[in-house]
Protein backbone atom coordinates (compact mmCIF):
# COMPACT_ATOMS: atom_id res chain seq x y z
CA UNK A 1 0.00 0.00 0.00
CA UNK A 2 1.31 3.41 -0.91
CA UNK A 3 0.52 6.49 1.12
CA UNK A 4 1.30 10.16 0.71
CA UNK A 5 2.15 12.04 3.86
CA UNK A 6 1.54 15.72 3.18
CA UNK A 7 3.31 18.27 5.40
CA UNK A 8 1.51 21.47 6.36
CA UNK A 9 4.12 23.63 8.12
CA UNK A 10 3.28 26.50 10.45
CA UNK A 11 1.96 29.53 8.56
CA UNK A 12 5.07 31.46 9.68
CA UNK A 13 7.24 29.45 7.27
CA UNK A 14 5.16 30.78 4.36
CA UNK A 15 5.37 34.40 5.50
CA UNK A 16 8.89 34.52 6.98
CA UNK A 17 10.69 31.99 4.83
CA UNK A 18 13.01 29.17 5.77
CA UNK A 19 14.42 29.57 9.29
CA UNK A 20 18.19 29.80 9.80
CA UNK A 21 18.07 27.32 12.69
CA UNK A 22 19.54 24.00 11.50
CA UNK A 23 17.89 21.96 14.30
CA UNK A 24 14.53 21.33 12.53
CA UNK A 25 16.41 20.27 9.38
CA UNK A 26 18.60 17.89 11.37
CA UNK A 27 15.49 16.37 13.00
CA UNK A 28 13.80 15.95 9.63
CA UNK A 29 16.98 14.48 8.16
CA UNK A 30 17.09 11.83 10.90
CA UNK A 31 13.42 11.01 10.33
CA UNK A 32 13.93 10.72 6.56
CA UNK A 33 16.91 8.44 7.16
CA UNK A 34 14.72 6.20 9.36
CA UNK A 35 12.21 5.92 6.50
CA UNK A 36 15.01 5.07 4.10
CA UNK A 37 16.63 2.47 6.38
CA UNK A 38 13.23 0.83 6.95
CA UNK A 39 12.85 0.49 3.18
CA UNK A 40 9.48 2.27 3.06
CA UNK A 41 10.52 5.56 1.44
CA UNK A 42 9.63 5.92 -2.25
CA UNK A 43 9.89 9.70 -2.70
CA UNK A 44 10.04 12.97 -0.78
CA UNK A 45 10.34 16.63 -1.57
CA UNK A 46 9.92 20.00 0.05
CA UNK A 47 8.07 22.76 -1.76
CA UNK A 48 8.95 26.42 -2.22
CA UNK A 49 6.50 28.97 -0.78
CA UNK A 50 3.40 29.90 -2.76
CA UNK A 51 5.04 33.25 -3.60
CA UNK A 52 7.04 31.31 -6.20
CA UNK A 53 4.03 29.37 -7.47
CA UNK A 54 1.00 29.85 -9.67
CA UNK A 55 -2.56 28.51 -9.80
CA UNK A 56 -4.34 27.48 -12.95
CA UNK A 57 -8.12 27.36 -12.72
CA UNK A 58 -11.16 27.46 -14.99
CA UNK A 59 -13.89 30.08 -14.77
CA UNK A 60 -16.69 30.29 -17.29
CA UNK A 61 -14.88 27.80 -19.48
CA UNK A 62 -11.67 29.85 -19.64
CA UNK A 63 -8.39 29.02 -17.96
CA UNK A 64 -6.93 31.60 -15.64
CA UNK A 65 -3.43 31.78 -14.22
CA UNK A 66 -2.86 33.55 -10.93
CA UNK A 67 0.65 34.05 -9.57
CA UNK A 68 1.32 33.49 -5.87
CA UNK A 69 1.48 34.19 -3.05
CA UNK A 70 -1.86 32.76 -2.01
CA UNK A 71 -2.46 34.63 1.23
CA UNK A 72 -6.11 33.54 1.45
CA UNK A 73 -5.09 29.92 1.88
CA UNK A 74 -5.50 28.68 5.44
CA UNK A 75 -3.22 25.70 4.91
CA UNK A 76 -0.15 25.60 2.68
CA UNK A 77 1.48 22.36 1.57
CA UNK A 78 5.16 22.47 2.46
CA UNK A 79 6.26 19.07 1.22
CA UNK A 80 5.43 15.40 1.00
CA UNK A 81 6.65 11.84 1.37
CA UNK A 82 5.44 8.78 -0.48
CA UNK A 83 5.85 5.60 1.49
CA UNK A 84 5.04 1.97 0.82
CA UNK A 85 3.87 0.00 3.84
CA UNK A 86 1.80 -3.08 4.65
CA UNK A 87 -1.16 -1.34 6.30
CA UNK A 88 -2.89 1.92 7.11
CA UNK A 89 -1.84 1.41 10.73
CA UNK A 90 1.82 1.26 9.73
CA UNK A 91 1.38 4.44 7.67
CA UNK A 92 -0.23 6.18 10.66
CA UNK A 93 2.70 5.07 12.81
CA UNK A 94 5.20 6.63 10.38
CA UNK A 95 3.11 9.82 10.10
CA UNK A 96 2.97 10.13 13.89
CA UNK A 97 6.78 10.09 14.02
CA UNK A 98 7.25 13.13 11.74
CA UNK A 99 9.08 15.82 13.77
CA UNK A 100 6.42 18.53 13.95
CA UNK A 101 6.52 21.96 15.53
CA UNK A 102 3.65 24.09 16.84
CA UNK A 103 1.12 24.84 14.15
CA UNK A 104 2.30 22.09 11.78
CA UNK A 105 0.50 18.89 10.84
CA UNK A 106 0.73 15.95 8.47
CA UNK A 107 -2.17 14.61 6.44
CA UNK A 108 -2.05 10.95 5.43
CA UNK A 109 -3.74 9.81 2.21
CA UNK A 110 -3.67 6.39 0.59
CA UNK A 111 -2.69 6.43 -3.09
CA UNK A 112 -4.98 4.61 -5.50
CA UNK A 113 -3.56 1.45 -7.00
CA UNK A 114 -4.79 0.31 -10.40
CA UNK A 115 -6.36 -2.73 -8.75
CA UNK A 116 -8.55 -0.44 -6.60
CA UNK A 117 -10.63 0.35 -9.69
CA UNK A 118 -13.42 -1.89 -10.99
CA UNK A 119 -12.55 -4.34 -13.82
CA UNK A 120 -14.40 -2.17 -16.36
CA UNK A 121 -11.92 0.63 -15.66
CA UNK A 122 -8.86 -1.61 -15.29
CA UNK A 123 -9.31 -2.95 -18.82
CA UNK A 124 -9.09 0.52 -20.38
CA UNK A 125 -5.93 1.17 -22.36
CA UNK A 126 -3.93 3.86 -20.58
CA UNK A 127 -0.55 4.77 -22.10
CA UNK A 128 0.35 6.78 -18.99
CA UNK A 129 -0.20 3.73 -16.77
CA UNK A 130 2.06 1.66 -19.02
CA UNK A 131 4.67 4.43 -18.97
CA UNK A 132 4.60 4.64 -15.17
CA UNK A 133 4.76 0.85 -14.80
CA UNK A 134 7.97 0.88 -16.85
CA UNK A 135 9.44 3.56 -14.54
CA UNK A 136 9.20 1.28 -11.48
Q: State the CB neighbour count (10 A cutoff) for residue 16.
A: 10
**pLDDT single digits (tens) 75-114:** 889 999 999 999 999 999 999 999 998 889 999 999 998 8
Percentage of residues in the chain with pLDDT exceeding 90? 57
**pLDDT single digits (tens) 30-53:** 999 999 999 999 999 999 888 899
Q: State the CB neighbour count (10 A cutoff) for residue 83.
A: 23
Percentage of residues in the chain with pLDDT exceeding 70? 95
Domains and CATH numbers, the chain: 2-135 (3.30.70.1060)
H or E, element range at 78: none
Range with lowest mean pLDDT among 57-66, 87-96, 122-131 = 122-131
Whether the predicted pLDDT of 17 surpasses 70: no
Question: In the chain, which ranges are continuous DSSP H helix?
Answer: 11-16, 23-38, 88-96, 119-122, 127-135
Q: What is the pTM of this model?
A: 0.84
Amino acid sequence: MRFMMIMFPPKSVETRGIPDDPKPFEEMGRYNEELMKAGVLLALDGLHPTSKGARVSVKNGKKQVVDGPFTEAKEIVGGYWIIQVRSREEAVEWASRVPLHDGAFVELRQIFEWTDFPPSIQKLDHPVRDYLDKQK
